[in-house]
Structure 1
Amino acid sequence: MSSLSTDHPISTPSDDLLNRSSAISSFVKQVLELDPSFGFVVGVLGLWGSGKTSFLNLARLDLEKSGVTVLDFNPWMFSGADHLVELFFAEISAQLKLKEMKEVGELLESFSGLFSDMGWVPFVGPWAEGLRLVSENVGKVLQHKKGGVRELRDKVNGALSQLDKPIVIVLDDIDRLSTNEIREVFKLVRLTASFPNIIYVLAFDRLRVEQALQEQGISGRDYLEKILQVTVDLPVISYQVLTKQISAVLDEAFA
């Protein structure tokens, strides 16, 4: 019987038939050398089916071996949801608590409460204008919250600044969302990417996301460049490796 596998991402180095170990090691080294004092946003770019999730799964192993905490926020689980910022902080804080980072998790959970009665501004007209309205709305809500918003944010910044290693937050499959959902995710990143020792890793197809972010008079690529500080393009699968894998599968099938 043939042992053909389904199109699921791999999670162990032994399954790396594309020989991407050196590229993964280089990526992990680059992430570990970043200065996340004011946050950092990294893009892992590749076409649909190019192995972005597999690449990140293997990179996660190396990052965790180095002592870095890796968290996942799957936008598919919250696609189309209101209060995306609130849900984001609640999800991340819950994962931190499970990883025995209770103090940071509780502070982020408290911070998420600041957005609980804000609502998420829907898009009206050009999406860049919607982003401006969201930013203004966030500011107004925080100004009217009781208990000292600045003090709480300072506590969050202080706790994160004390970490020996940064926290890597992975957002994968962004390109599989609808256009409006893609825009929501990038609004979220833009509004929350300034915390110290937080490194966002966003995985997506550049063309798909640029098209989603583009509007009349504004280039999607220009907007991406304002958010992404480092981009990593997945290496193209070599002809030799692809031919070898196809031949091996055909030989097994004919046998």
Structure 2
Amino acid sequence: MYKLFRKTASSKGNVVENFTEEKNLDNLSIISDNPITLLKDDTLGRAEVSQSFAQQILSLDTRSGIVVGVLGPWGSGKTSFVNLARNEIKSAGLTILDFNPWMFSGAEQLVESFFNELSAQLKLKTELSELGKELEEYGEMFSGMAWVPFIGPWIERGRGTVKIISKVLQKRKEGVGGRRKKIEKLLRDLNKNIVIVLDDIDRLSTSEIRDIFKLVRLTANFPNIIYILAFDRVRVEEALSEQGIPGRDYLEKILQVTVDLPAVPSQVLAT
């Protein structure tokens, strides 16, 4: 059973619409547990649901940004599901950026890599290169100095490094607000959505999971930005729980749309 949930604001408060679709998993076989990318490789019968999910994303009001969750236990095929939806999203002309936080570690490296990876992908597209540059500089305002090649007594050896530090400090003086407004204007002027996919979040340590969600909160309300976050709900809720506040409450404030994938039956995996 697949369950798609969408929270929509109304004058009476939040309204939750439930969409369900049943799929029979009997007599199915899986050749490999590697993520799939093509509809023809869908042995779990999820193609139709993934296409419906993609269409729902394309219909969202993204003027204030949207965060979507693809949730399920480890081995439930979250990456494959996102890949199937990705094809539909791309065919609609949207730009998709990917960031896998599992490839990095530590708060500082996550922050820097997040902005650097996304900006690098944007710069590859001519019409998005200016946005990529602004996003990279925006990210520099939230990172420390650990990336600087010369630190402490070695710093005097490189005048170029001193200039780099001066530039970063000057940008910080400009303020986050000013830099943010530039990015918001560029995104509104694009007049189309950008999708950012964050996968394997549940493989991170507890502190890293919290850092990722801080990054999402930092940029989630940019106009025309859609986040797709794939993770194990139980693992992430556990990591976000703190001082008696359930992690689920935290997620409820971040995720506007969610799809919960069922675990793949063991008999299917064994076939």
1:87 aligns with 2:113: yes
Match of 2:85 among 54, 59, 70: 59
Contact 2:237 2:247 in 1 (8 A): yes
Offset, 1:66:
0.5
Q: TM-score, normalised by structure 2?
A: 0.74
Offset, 1:25:
1.0
1:102 aligns with 2:129: yes
Q: Which residue of 2 aligns with 1:42?
A: 68
Query: What is the one-letter code of the residue matched to 1:13?
Result: L
Offset, 1:154:
1.5
Contact 2:108 2:143 in 1 (8 A): no
Match of 1:208 among 212, 216, 235: 235
Query: What is the one-letter code of the residue matched to 1:21?
Result: A
Q: Structure 1 pair 56/144, CA: closer, same or farther in 2 (3 Å)?
A: closer
Equivalent-residue separation in structure 2 for 1:40 and 1:85 (angstroms) = 20
Q: Structure 1 pair 237/196, CA: closer, same or farther in 2 (3 Å)?
A: same
Matched position secondary structure for 1:103: helix
Match of 2:245 among 210, 218, 229: 218
Offset, 1:228:
0.9
Root mean square deviation, CA, Å: 2.7
Matched position secondary structure for 1:180: helix
Offset, 1:12:
1.0
Segments of 5+ residues of structure 1 without an aligned counterpart are 120-140, 250-255
Structure richer in helix, relative to its length: 1
Q: TM-score, normalised by structure 1?
A: 0.78
Contact 1:83 1:115 in 2 (8 A): no
1:112 aligns with 2:139: yes
Equivalent-residue separation in structure 2 for 1:144 and 1:105 (angstroms) = 16
Q: State, as a whole percentage, how many aligned pairs show the same letter.
A: 62
Number of residue pairs the alignment of both structures matches: 221
Offset, 1:112:
1.7
Query: What is the one-letter code of the residue matched to 2:105?
Result: S
Q: Which residue of 1 aligns with 2:181?
A: 154
Offset, 1:88:
1.4
Contact 2:107 2:211 in 1 (8 A): no
Match of 1:25 among 46, 51, 62: 51
Equivalent-residue separation in structure 2 for 1:6 and 1:46 (angstroms) = 19
Equivalent residues in 2 for 1:172-183, closer than 5 Å: 172-183=199-210
1:227 aligns with 2:254: yes
Equivalent-residue separation in structure 1 for 2:216 and 2:169 (angstroms) = 18
Matched position secondary structure for 1:145: helix
- Residue by residue over 1:138-185, the C-alpha shift from the partner in whole angstroms, topping out at 9 and shown as x without a partner, is xxx999823454332221101101223211101111111111111111
Offset, 1:61:
1.1
Equivalent-residue separation in structure 2 for 1:225 and 1:190 (angstroms) = 13
Q: Which residue of 2 aligns with 1:78?
A: 104
Q: Structure 1 pair 142/149, CA: closer, same or farther in 2 (3 Å)?
A: farther
Offset, 1:83:
5.0
- Residue by residue over 1:196-245, the C-alpha shift from the partner in whole angstroms, topping out at 9 and shown as x without a partner, is 11111110111111111112321111111111111111256589xx66x8
Contact 2:101 2:110 in 1 (8 A): no
Matched position secondary structure for 2:73: coil
